Structure 1
């Protein structure tokens, strides 16, 4: 939750995030890979805290993650990761190689620029409208959550305009965001257009599969023997696709055996385990978010949560 005192005199690294945010997960994994201490402050996206007047003073776009470094505000996951690399690499793990590793650095940047532009939000929300394209969706995207987020997506642009009127200082930014949301909604609710988005993901993953297949040494990651920022981008993408049930669309059942092997391997990293919520953490997050969304919808009532837990224990996920 937001802590106003932290805004007054922040010290050290403070990360405003939510554990389900695709972009926040990339930053959290980077922080753990670099073994940097930070104070995490959850902005409850399910309850709409990102559009509170307090948080909009930090980031007028109402988005996480945001990093505070001794009062300096750095928004946007890519900017945060570059900032951490530039300012916290002496004595810490470097995720973008320097020095003589020019070829590796070029490859890292190539794959980062290839993976990072993929529209995680559109991929995620579109899957709720086209479930026939997905296999078994996993936590946190079990059926009751999918239905609520689908409703939230339908109302998103109008609610952004409402928040724009309530927050004059962020009005122009939020109105522009609402305009973009209208365009995104049109794309993801049209099956042909959504499949084009998935095709763009498939094109990138085909290149990743080819890269992994061409490695001539055991123990290599995407670009070298060292785990890099390109690997973080790939890892978090695979996590999201897997949770949405799109693993069967892209790599399981022999479709991309090297990506499948890579994904099994990366899940063993300590940074992965510290970044991606466990089953118990998922349940704590969902139970803690059962009050109504600020945009006017509910997420799960107490009865719904109990029912969901019972179903999950029976392994009937959908």
Structure 2
């Protein structure tokens, strides 16, 4: 959990290919990628699903130890995952010698009494408070990368009232916290192409938007990230249960490829993302050890030219849910 920090290069650096194993000696699932100036596994772990294990803390700790054993050294979390439970378990399970890069996000807060389990927390003072909460629960002096979760693109929450906050005001406090050493680098999440363009001068290391084989409306943003040496870390990499959002595993071309390769549709969907652009880093989440192992194994799925062409031809169906 040692902090580091400078933006990620678009293509793997010449030294990255020589870093195929982690500090523990395990091969990196998906091979080596780059994030905030360091080498990480291209298949990471998203900690949101850890909250499903709140009744069995030992199982949550064991799952995270399995993450490390599988060679995953990039964990994505947030204080609002399980009211801090995910962060607390990460602090307990991940050791300094594991050399795992822990990334967090701000811009929302738990709301157990609301229609959704969280609400937006976009005001500058809320962003600062959230960073402090993350530092405390993770037990860190600095978070290497903090993503600012906005509401410029769907699916999910819409900003209303005092939660409609300008990007400049938000970036001002994020940059201040970076200057203070509380965070190492700044990322953006759930943003539009225009917002990303306006944020780049502040120094953006990562973008997290909804993106998958069947939801590729953000292709122009991915291209911009490529040009600006920004890591692309998609959430919902296999689709979602949100109304109108397709699921990768239901796509006939994906099912056919999985059958031909002896893989699962989910593994094909993740493998396609890794093949699609070299600055893609994945953070699929799960509370199940078997699913975790299957996700890690997706990094070994090889897609030949014909299979890639068939998958690339799948139409995107995201437009109706993205604002």
TM-score (norm 2): 0.29
Larger radius of gyration: 1
Greater helix percent: which structure? 1
Identify which of structures 1 and 2 has the higher relative contact order when contacts are C-alpha pairs closer than 8 Å and 6+ apart.
1
- Alignment TM-score, normalising by the size of structure 1: 0.29
